[in-house]
């Protein structure tokens, strides 16, 4: 077994412990969220299965790609849409997305692993929780129910922490103006969301994807 596979198994084992020990109960506490992030990001995930121009990462096998556009990706897993944006310009310039504390947020936290800055912000609205995680020059957003928070954080953290950038390719893309400096990322809106978002547009796909998902043997249920 390769080193990367061993490390991933360790991550999944930790994830499984969270899922089977009741950490996703209705009475989730902030320590559970912090522990989920810390345990995943502290691992050295070197396993990859998705390759893009300038970077690669590990995509959980039960994540189905619905749309991709200019380093923006929409994945569907168990009826939930995960919005991923990989900011290679920020990586090239070594500039992190600014973090602003949301008032009345359900949960906020900043963190730093191996010199990689990140934050998580969770906002509650209409019995749903809008999760936004930024780490390793990429962002994932997802809307979930309360008992799905920990699982979604684990999935997101595994993917974000696995992103490995190719400096040579990115330098070539930037210096040859092959990346637009005005790159826009679509993202899941919070309490001030517009009347129509990508999430609203894609809701009709959820039940179809639930029925046709391929089970992920990596995840311990």
Q: What is the mean pLDDT of residues 135-150?
A: 94
How many angstroms separate the Cα of 70 from the Cα of each of 42, 65, 80?
29, 14, 21
User: What is the model's pTM?
Assistant: 0.71
Q: Left, alpha or beta for 199 (phi > 0: left; psi -120 to 50: alpha)?
A: alpha
Q: What is the mean pLDDT of residues 57-75?
A: 93
What pLDDT, in 10s, does the model give residues 11-42? 554 444 443 333 333 334 455 888 888 888 88
Look at residue 211 and tell me whether its pLDDT is greater than 70.
Answer: no
d(CA 123, CA 181): 30
- 203 has a pLDDT exceeding 50: no
Return d(Cα 178, Cα 196) in angstroms, integer.
Answer: 31
Partner residues linked to 134 by β-bridges: 119, 139
Mean pLDDT of 31-57: 86
What tens digit of pLDDT does each residue of 99-114 get?
Answer: 777 778 999 988 888 8
Residues 153, 60 contacting (CB under 8 angstroms):
no
């Amino acid at each position: 077994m390769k080193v990367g596979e061993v490390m991933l198994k360790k991550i999944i084992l930790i994830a499984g412990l969270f899922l089977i020990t009741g950490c996703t109960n209705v009475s989730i506490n902030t320590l559970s969220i912090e522990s989920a992030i810390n345990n995943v990001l502290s691992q050295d995930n070197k396993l990859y299965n998705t390759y893009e121009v300038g970077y690669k990462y590990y995509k959980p096998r039960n994540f189905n790609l619905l749309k991709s556009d200019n380093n923006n990706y929409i994945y569907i897993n168990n009826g939930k849409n995960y919005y991923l944006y990989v900011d290679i310009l920020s990586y090239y310039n070594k500039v992190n997305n600014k973090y602003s504390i949301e008032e009345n947020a359900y949960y906020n936290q900043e963190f730093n692993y191996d010199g990689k800055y990140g934050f998580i912000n969770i906002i509650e609205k209409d019995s749903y929780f809008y999760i936004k995680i930024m780490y390793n020059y990429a962002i994932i957003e997802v809307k979930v129910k309360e008992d799905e928070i920990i699982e979604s954080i684990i999935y997101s953290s595994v993917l974000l922490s696995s992103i490995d950038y190719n400096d040579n390719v990115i330098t070539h893309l930037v210096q040859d103006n092959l990346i637009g400096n005005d790159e826009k990322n679509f993202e899941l809106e919070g309490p001030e969301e517009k009347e129509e978002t990508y999430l609203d547009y894609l809701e009709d796909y959820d039940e179809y994807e639930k029925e046709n998902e391929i089970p992920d043997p990596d995840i311990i249920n």
